[in-house]
Structure 1
């Protein structure tokens, strides 16, 4: 459904003039955690938001209705395909429509400044141009269906350590050429209806109070006519943020604006005209999403998250973004009937489909990699072997493993008691975790009890415990334990990555587990943990080696978990968690052929890279994970993805590494030389370059030339491509500009894609964008065109196919 987003300016002005100051200020704070106030006097409906960007979660952090779980943002970005990003935006819009949600809080368009960033999985790329163009396609498609987007986090929110207080110190040129550029592209190419201001400070001023960035650059210079909202709990001061251009404080209803903004206006610290501008922007947003002046109608024929349509879409998108990093001897693709396969590794069965934090989605299912490969290759051909432990923080028990003791249904029983021990309410919960929020049904409980019967096929030693902060007592047959779990520091410390505690106990089949906790000061997620008892790495590796030695191919599945890739916390190393590197090395030493699947979104170290035959970087593939991996490995869908981040060989390498502030300040001392820009400047050789990806075809590049110039700006490049391989393939032709001045970094300026069968050829035209070909002059506070230099045409910066001088545009 497409709605009319024509803004009724007269209606908006009339509505603003009819409201008193107190009412106007009330509208500028959230009504609840994910909704805004309505006002019947002006025909304003409640506006509902949902976290994104890879699924429409709804208002509940956990336990809400099942929603489509898309591949993570970097995996989608690895397609380098604007059409895929538009398809993602359209899919998310339909999911939002189905949930009667007006705004999806995404996309996240901060950059991969350091590979240690905990939230890299949620961002597109280390390159600002690639990020901006892909984000614009996503935003345009989302908003075309009347659902608002909210590009975030404005600005310089590239790490999670001390994210609510850190002051990011960034020179003006780097701000313009890198960190502002994705937002500028999205504003110019897609006109987003909202933008979200970040927690951190920028050069001494907190982002929600940054007049120069919000009023100056975003609203005045770029002409942004949408609404600027705060990140959740990010607004610190009333008058300063209102005057700086912030339009909406989230969440509500108790905010610094609700408490102090009216007083600031009456004292003359904020003009009522400023408040009116904020309200106009709010009502403009409401008109665009169909909440003012009349309520929209919601479609009722949206495909379900587990429908064949959605499953095909999500499988295809994930598989197309997967990247073949290595493929010696053409080991890939694997085909049914080519021999026995040993599938090894904990991530084969405990496949990680999404990162941790506020973007979590409850999917209808997650197809494990083991399930996908058994389905594609045949159960008779596949031997499944568990690997080494990968988690220290445990997840809630899968709902299929527990039954409600009262109803016998899949899930758990939750009961709330008052101070006298009287039962307040008892509910069946379909999953094994739930949110305890200030406005939820458990908010007034003095004691909360979780209980479940465990559906074990036979007695076993299991880890039994809970997740979530609080004082806990856990009891099962023959075992009672009391302990305290503390929250993480910072906003959402009990929500985004709740800590766990569990002990190994013998469980009978059908054993009952009861966990009780008291009131806690923090919003939190709580839940039950039941999982297999850990075993030694030595035993796991020994079993894997035996299986690998007897198979024709060993497929080792390794990766990160939500402990490494999560909101609220950065990584300390790029090494795979646990003893996974030792597992790969041991398997590779005995296997005839070794294929490694990396189930991670951000770069990982690969000390075993020279000893294995093939590596598929599979990302966090979403709900269809296993089927997408199987399609990529067998060639049913070509994994033609290209990396969006440079992979170092070792910890500590690269132009920007440490995300940890010093005395509260994080200096972006590398300037404009982040990612491949810095690697190229230093003439270093990373493990894998930005843009790398082999696919399953081979390509010949001929007759490259610059065919269109505008001053010193390259506007168009063309090159003739021939598929010299034996399989149909998709190629991503990348164009970079290497400036004449070595102090200026190389930068991506355009790309194009072509699909050809074996022996086919085509002349590919690449449109180049002027925006990454500019240099910001801080002294004059304006842009200059890059002079001269060289154009590089490449399959990735590690595989350059042609170099052309900018000045003459001669063939190369």
Structure 2
């Protein structure tokens, strides 16, 4: 039954209303018993529902990353992911999942692109809408983020994104509009950055005039964590909720601003009404909602099947000379590379979760081919150390992999002891096991090493090791959240590894702390020699290369698309020694491939989640077709893209390429031919297109017959692009349809174009005009690098 929200709001006095508009803790909202408002619980997403703790929380399911899921170009799959995330949320009594991320891939240097779907606004918006429906059909709220023009991380909390009105509406706001119009997303998150000189959290034009006004949005706009900078300007600028709590700029200051006439109390009432509407929708207002009792656990058989299938379907075949793939199951395979034995399954920052396991490609392929696989480690891929993994460090308290942490107050009194399975812990943000302020911590672990070891510490503070060595570690000051997302480290390689690693650190504020313990790296030349020997003795070499959370992470952008370390040299050496060579790219975003002409096949595998190794193995062997299509254009070289730099100049980041980002700019000749176009993907079929016809109407449709002339059943994604006649209007994706066809069979496919792509933003009238001028052409394609038909 719908509550009388206006009456509930009216029953509260001003301080009570204002109290509700700032979080009660890092990830919870305050209750109000007088109106039967219960605590609401938020959790980061979108690659899993981590829960209320930033680190050290419960074990949860790790999903494939957004670009990999989006590469299926399948709204039903996106809906299924939303459903599964809703189950994960309900298992933890989480009311709102903070996702999906629907910023665009403006430049491939963006560090956080792995969380977002695509460079194309239609593809992003429709997939996001399906994901939102999947969540909210189960009564779990979605949160669209980050509103808006938040496509890079450099100076992210101060940068002014300068975007003209046409570009803002036709590109960057469009995914939000689609997800709100088509799916009714219940909440939206304001970004850190300014837009055209005004902070996102107080941007009256975007929040009030566009989102709540023109779009008629009835939902809630919350801030990104610590993003709110002001009192009255933010309250008047459309922000409904400040996160996190309990501290923040509002509270008593907002109450005072209302009493001083700086904020009308009706504005506060609107904010509270929206918050109560969200609470009602998620079951936190009135009688508490009931939750299913028997939800799948992260290690269940059903989850393993779902995650493997979802990841494998997004894996994309970029090259496949002489049909090397799928691999012959009788072949002897040399599996090579650090990413083969330590596969990267998720990006860095707030999207990270604590999974039950992470299957490597070596584990996955060996499970299917047994001793026909020889796995060989590769060259180093990181410049920064990571907390201990694989039992290198164990906690003295229980002998399990991880570390022990003891927290102290300023007087030296012990506050808490905790076991940290991930060898790291958050201090000062989401701790709830004690009262008082943490002033120091002691971190302890037993060391298990058969050879040279790299040991060290991570976190901001003054450190003292057990041997008396002291040193400070400080944040660089490069951006908000560095102490949590990219804390500083210091490592050393002792001549003999000690039996125990122990360190104390003084703490002043919030941060992520941990111990580092890993085997010391071998010389690159020795590693490559081992790889060459293995490749020469096998029927086929599979080299797995990629990026890590150093490049694909919140808070830091990339500086190059080159693979880190000596990975390119490794691929070149293996390709020179092997009979046939397959390269698997374990990265969520574009990388350069200088070795591309010298290898036989390339699979792009994204960040495939906890079942990643099983998904890659299934794709390599054809158990599940890797039917993905790229969601981002791959530049052929650094800088060879319509938009490139992520570095603000005097605090301003100019979106000077306008609407010509990605494939749009490449197609218009504003950047060189890319290595691979958006929409490219070979799958395991071969296709003929015929009988292409146009069906006119308000939003025209294209019909086409596709025939699978290959040897395998395959899924084809028929893409339709509009090429307007106006030179100032870029080509744009207007629709797509997928179909699965057996070898030798045909299917008739209809692609309905989306009416929203026929509009153009009138910069003079500041509104939409009815449609683009007539006379454009439709391009029917398998990506813009493989256009099969043109229809006027």
User: More deviation in 57-66 or 125-134?
Assistant: 57-66
Aligned positions, number: 786
| Structure 2 residue aligned with 1:229 | 222
Q: What corresponds to 2:645 in structure 1? A: 658
Partner Cα separation in structure 2 for residue 397 and residue 467 of structure 1? 11
Aligned 8 A contact 1:106 1:152 in 2: yes
Shift of 1:422: 4.3
Residue 396 in structure 1 maps to residue 391 in structure 2: no
SS of the counterpart of 2:24?
strand
Residue 709 (1) aligns with residue 701 (2): no
Q: Is the CA contact (8 Å cut-off) linking 1:332 and 1:614 kept in structure 2? A: yes
User: Which secondary structure does the structure 1 equivalent of 2:485 belong to?
Assistant: coil
Deviation at 1:507, TM superposition (A): 4.8
Q: Among 532, 537, 550, which residue is 1:545 paired with? A: 532
CA distance in 2, matches of 1:690, 1:406: 51
* C-alpha separation in 2, matches of 1:44 and 1:783: 40
Q: 2:361 aligns with which of 357, 369, 373?
A: 369
Check whether the contact 1:739–1:745 (CA below 8 A) recurs between aligned residues. yes
TM-superposed CA distance for 1:500, in Å, is 2.2
- Distance in 2, matches of 1:650 and 1:255, equals 44
**Contact 2:51/2:92 (8 A) holds in 1:** yes
- Give the counterpart of 1:384 among 367, 375, 380: 375
1:810 alignment counterpart: none
1:695 equivalent among 658, 683, 698? 683
The equivalent of 1:505 in structure 2 is: 494
Which residue of structure 1 lines up, in the alignment, with residue 472 of structure 2?
A: 484
Task: State the Cα deviation string for residues 695-741 of structure 1 (Å, max 9, x = none).
Answer: 0010110001112322xx42x11100111001000000000000011
User: Would you say the 8 A contact 1:488–1:498 is kept in 2?
Assistant: no
Deviation (angstroms), 1:439: 5.5
Q: Which residue of 1 aligns with 2:94?
A: 101
SS at match of 1:472: strand
Is the Cα contact below 8 Å between 2:460 and 2:507 reproduced in 1?
no
Match of 1:293 in 2: 286
Q: Could you say what secondary structure the match of 1:326 adopts?
A: strand
2:515 aligned with 1:515: no
1:335 corresponding residue in structure 2: 328
Q: Does 1:560 align with 2:551?
A: no
Q: Which residue of 1 aligns with 2:758?
A: 773
CA distance in 2, matches of 1:468, 1:419: 18
2:515 to 505, 518, 528: 528
Deviation at 1:761, TM superposition (A): 0.7
In structure 1, the partner of 2:626 is: 639
**Once the 2 structures are TM-superposed, how far is the Cα of residue 75 of structure 1 from its aligned partner?**
0.3
- Could you tell me which of 341, 349, 352 is aligned with 1:349? 341
Paired residues of 2:396 and 2:403 also in contact (CA < 8 A): yes
Q: Does 1:278 align with 2:271?
A: yes
> Aligned in 2, Cα 1:49/1:419: closer, same or farther, shift over 3 Å?
closer
Closer, same or farther in 2 for the Cα pair 1:207/1:425, shift >3 Å?
Answer: closer
How far apart in 2 are the matches of 1:156 and 1:315?
Answer: 33
Check the 8 A contact 2:141/2:282 in 1, yes or no: yes
The TM-score with structure 2 as length reference comes to 0.97
Secondary structure of 2:620's aligned partner = helix
CA distance in 2, matches of 1:730, 1:417: 58
**What is the alpha-carbon distance in structure 2 between the residues aligned to residue 367 and residue 408 of structure 1?**
23
Distance 1:584 1:439, change over 3 A: closer
How far off its partner does 1:418 sit?
Answer: 4.0
Q: CA deviation at 1:148?
A: 0.4
- 1:403-442 equivalence runs, <5 A: 403-438=394-429, 440=431, 441=433
8 Å contact from structure 1 (residues 7, 288) kept in 2: no
Helix, strand or coil for the counterpart of 2:737? strand
5+ residue gaps, structure 2: none
Aligned-pair CA distance for 1:232: 0.7
- The secondary structure found in structure 1 opposite 2:267 is helix
Tell me which moved more, 683-692 or 591-600.
683-692
Aligned mates of 1:649, 1:672 — CA distance in 2: 21
Q: Could you tell me which of 2, 11, 25 is aligned with 1:7?
A: 2
1:3 maps to what in 2? none
Q: Per-residue displacement from partner, 1:735-776 (whole Å, max 9, x unpaired)?
A: 000001122100000000000110111100111111012111
Q: Which residue of 2 aligns with 1:809?
A: none
1:249 to 2:235 alignment:
no
1:41 corresponds in structure 2 to: 34
Contact 1:249 1:255 in 2 (8 A): yes
